[in-house]
Amino acid sequence: MKIVYLGDLVGRSGRKIVAEKLPEIKERLRPDAIIVNGENAAAGFGITGKIADELFELGVDVISTGNHVWDQRDTKSYINTEPRMIRPINYPEGTPGKGSVIVEDQRGRKILVINAMGRVFMDPLDDPFKAVDMELKKHRLGTTVNFILVDIHAEATSEKMAMGQYLDGRASLVIGTHSHVPTADAQIFDGGTAYQTDAGMCGDYNSVIGMDKKEPISRFTKKLRGDRYTPALGDGTACGVYVESDDKTGLAKRIEPIRMGSRLIETFPQT
């Protein structure tokens, strides 16, 4: 299978660059599924149902989220009616929405997407390792599902790497999000799981992790809160990964980063 994953969409710049680049991504890579983290898509804080619908219309198959999932008022109701948008699986029982979803490609192959959130320097949620374990007990890679993707939304790089190594051989791709900076460690572990510590963001990189520079710099230098954070509105760059897996085992055969836009050095998988 061929899977494209794009990291955290931040504000208008992120939405715009994804809308611009998805047709080229689909034409050149012909992915069987596209998964996007959309938790910062609405002015940098959360995602609305309207924005989610627009992403699905563009060809996105699943939207994952993270710690900003509840920042927009309509998300709690929307996420209960749209199973293709998921929230971290380790939220307590009774939280709206679900932490995983299975979608099918045009050939009927099943893709399980799981969203988890780390706990180091983050909200003290339930154990993400146990939560993912429990979900994987319901499915078997290469048998009941053809591809398993785990989005680990976490602050600490060590926690993301630990999740990747913990799931080696049980997932096709473990991809980190939340840091908004693409890491240079795309690799395939010994057991066949593709991994990258952070996919990076889709947004304006002439910023402080997607936000207009003025307010973050002021908070760091003066230790005073002034205005609210607002997304940077310059030209965006789309970042993510491309993964190919073995149809028989579901394990990864190839992972390559994607960077498309005017700010970062571009890289795109050769076909």
Alpha-carbon dihedral of residues 207, 33, 80, 58, nearest 10 degrees? 60
What predicted TM-score, i.e. pTM, was given to this entire model?
0.96
> Quick check: is 127 in a domain?
yes
Q: Find out whether 161 and 174 touch, Cβ atoms under 8 Å.
A: no
- Least trusted range by pLDDT, from 9-23, 28-42, 210-224, 253-267: 210-224
> Quick check: is 206 in a domain?
yes
Q: Which domain holds residue 39?
A: 2-261
Q: What is the residue-wise DSSP string for 31-51? A: -SEEEEE-TBTTTTS---HHH
> Quick check: is 85 in a domain?
yes
Mean pLDDT value of segment 238-242: 98
> Quick check: is 244 in a domain?
yes
Q: What is the pLDDT of residue 225?
A: 82
- How far is it, in rounded angstroms, from Cα 16 to Cα 58? 11
Domain count, the chain: 1
Mean pLDDT value of segment 54-69: 97
CATH number for the domain including 93?
Answer: 3.60.21.10
Known catalytic residues are 68
